[in-house]
Amino acid sequence: MKVKGNLIVDGNVIGDNVPGSVTFTDGTNSHTSNTLNFSSDDFYVSTNLSGQPVANLLSTSIPKFQVDAHLTGDASEIVFDNIPATANFLEFKYALRSTISATSDTIRLQMNDDTGSNYHRVRLLADQGAAPAATLANAGTEFIFPEGLGGTATSNSFGSGHVVVSGYSDPAINTSLSAYSAISESSSLSTVTMVGGTWINTAVVTKIRFFFGSANIAANSRITMIGV
């Protein structure tokens, strides 16, 4: 078995270009390898994947990096800067609340500080008591996507969602995005939103900015970025 990078087992770095034999234990079986050849990216193995052979462990989507942002006070934005170009996809998982004087607010996203009309998107909104409706916006100045709860929503409630950014590190293609979210804090406020879009730019994405349209991001909001 040949893999690239540092071998990390349960958080412990085994090393780089390690000769000899390493035994993997997945909770049920042990697997011994005599041909470890690490050279670039980190490689992770979890020993609690019961019954998983080494071949399956190798094919698992392995995080390259992870960054967690947690607000201790209100802020105008959450920015991920100097993003490494060492992964193929970026995933963002969030729990967000706006300070707007309303029950919900739309989340906005921009890449590389681009405020030009380069964001093409379609947004499908399913609101309680109404038929799903799609909104198409070409040449927008930002991605507008899944909602977060607003300042008048039930206290300590947050909208949750998941964003996937594809092709961000490949200068040969435009970066695309897909996202979904769900908010439900009362019998009159339940919304599911899906978004797909493309940033019309082949630049490698090194900066991503999250913000609300007309208010701050409330304290205790959080976003996790994962590179895979």
pLDDT attached to residue 134: 73
Residue range 65-227, CATH number: 2.60.120
Q: pLDDT (tens digit, 9 = 90+) per residue, 197-210?
A: 999 999 999 999 99
Residue 57: its H or E element: helix 54-59
Q: Which of 76, 78, 73, 43 is nearest to 57 (CA)?
A: 43
Residues of the chain within CATH 2.60.120 domain(s) are: 65-227
Q: How many CB atoms lie within 10 A of CB 63?
A: 12
Please list the pLDDT of the chain residue by residue as tens digits (228 residues): 333 344 444 445 544 444 434 444 334 444 444 333 333 333 334 333 334 444 433 434 567 889 999 999 999 999 999 999 999 999 999 999 999 999 888 899 999 999 999 999 988 887 776 767 777 777 789 998 767 888 988 888 898 899 999 999 999 999 999 998 888 776 567 788 889 999 999 999 999 999 998 899 999 999 999 999
The pLDDT tens digits for 101-127 are 998 888 999 999 999 999 999 888 877
